[in-house]
Structure formats: structure tokens, C-alpha cells
Structure 1
């Protein structure tokens, strides 16, 4: 009898878990003013705990003369920041000057000053709809 009650309780818990499944949305990022058509764009979606270290989700996008875009599907609702750099020389790394400033074009969500180190509060946004778009300019 105890085993049957235990199994029924577990079945109920699993069914409740599926009812409270996290909402997700599709996040499309479009890029404008990409100056050169060579190389790739490396796009990272970051959460607060990994901001500008290791993206939660990342994709590489070929540069297109008509503009480039990328869609991340099924992203859980929450707070994120987008960072992208244009890898002009194909080394898959954002190159930097001797003072630490990027030597390759980059863009970020939010209201980040390009002459200062980006902050989470300046770059974050809320994903809270089924479809959300961002336009990032270089």
C-alpha cells in the first residue's frame, strides 16, 4: 500500500512540474552598419553570472551584404545581455589593442558606452515574449 501511495505522489509531482514549465521565446538579432563583408559575427547571449566570460548560448553568423541576422529559438524567459564581435581575421577571438580596447568591431545590447568597459546593468534586457527582436549597429 505504501508503495502505491509513493508512486501516485511521484506521478502527481511530475505532472505538476510539466504544468509550471518555463516559458520560452525566440530572440532574433539583426545587425546593421557592418562595414566589411569578410569574416564572421560571433554572437553571445549572456546571463548575469557569466557576463562577458562564457555565453549561455552562442552562434556564429556569416556576414551578408544585405545585412545579417540570427535567431535563438526556445530561450527561457529572463534577463540577458547580447554581445557580438566581427572577427575580421578569422582567429575566432576578439582582438584587442595594447590598452585592452577591442581592435575589431563590436556591438552590445542596452546602452553601453563604446569607450568604457561594458556593465551588466548597461547591457541587460528582459526576454518576456514569444518573439523579440534586437537591432545592433556597429
Structure 2
């Protein structure tokens, strides 16, 4: 009887600690470091935008929760976004070679500058859906790598 009670108490303690750690993790703020590789040159800048849901992803600037642009000095480029709440995010990146803050396109609508997305989904005829690019921020420091594509 005493052994069964000890096992029950131990099990209760483990379950309680697990529940506390999951709820504590859900309320933290963390950092997301994005390593951007595959740049074809060092001209211009790289801009990365973070979206918290599918609304506006990947190109509606008014739906971006954080955005950073930096001049290209080294390849790969690393950008760190700080103070993000735990959750799902998708990142859209562009190689803004002429620094006009627009992903320039040719007469057929094809991008003339490099671009990429978190999780590096395959790109066919259009940008990926949020779910195809979504990553989970579930710790104090999350790192992802995005490889740019050029047409």
C-alpha cells in the first residue's frame, strides 16, 4: 500500500511539473535567428519579414509583425528577431539588390531578385501557403536557415 502511494505521488509530481513547464513555455518570449544563404552577389540588402498567421503572408507589409533589412557584407547573412511570443511564424526573405524595398518582377511577373521562405518549401507557380512555411518558436533561441531562389 505504501509503495503504491509513493508511485502515485511520484506520478502526480511528474505530471504537475510537465503541466507547469508547458504552460511556462507557452508564455515566454524568445529570439528567432534567420540565416540567409544562396545569395548570388553582395549587391543591395536582404530584407526579412515575419508573419504570425496566413493573413497577408508573404507580401502584405501591413501584416508583418517584425521586419529587418541589412546591407550584405558577408554571406550567409544572419538576422535576429527578438522578443517573439511562443507560437507559429512564417518568414519571407528577399534580396533587394536595388534597395527599393520591393521584390522586383519582369514583364511575365517572375521575380528578378532572390527570395525565400522559412522551411524552404518548393516554389512552383506561386508563393507558398503560410502552413508550408510555418515554423514553431518553442524555446528561448530558435535558429532557421533560408536558401534564396532566383529565376
Cα distance in structure 2, aligned partners of 1:34 and 1:111: 14
Q: How far did residue 45 of structure 1 move? A: 0.4
- Aligned residue number for residue 142 of structure 2: 132
Per-residue Cα deviation, 1:32-67 (whole angstroms, up to 9, x for no partner)? 221111100010001213322121110002112342
> Matched residues in 1 for 2:120 and 2:46: separation?
20
For the 8 Å contact 1:61–1:69, the answer to whether it is kept is no
Which of these residues, 97, 101, 111, is aligned with residue 106 of structure 2?
A: 97
Q: Could you list the per-position Cα deviations for residues 8-42 of structure 1 after superposition, in whole angstroms to 9, with x for gaps in the alignment?
A: xxxxxxxxxxx9x9311110011122111110001
C-alpha distance in 2, partners of 1:74/1:114? 30
Q: 2:51 aligns with which of 43, 46, 54?
A: 46
Q: Are 1:122 and 2:132 matched, yes or no?
A: yes
Residue ranges of structure 2 left out of the alignment (5+ in a row): 1-23
Query: Is the Cα contact below 8 Å between 2:49 and 2:66 reproduced in 1?
Result: yes
**Gap regions ≥5 residues in structure 1:** 1-18
The two structures have a TM-score, normalised by structure 2, of 0.72
Q: Hey, what does 2:6 align to over in structure 1?
A: none
- Over aligned residue pairs, what C-alpha RMSD do you find? 1.8
Of the three residues 23, 28, 39, the one matched with 1:23 is 28
Distance between the aligned counterparts of 1:66 and 1:101, measured in 2? 24
CA deviation after TM superposition for structure 1 residue 71, in Å:
0.4
Q: Aligned partners of 1:62, 1:114: CA distance in 2, in Å?
A: 26
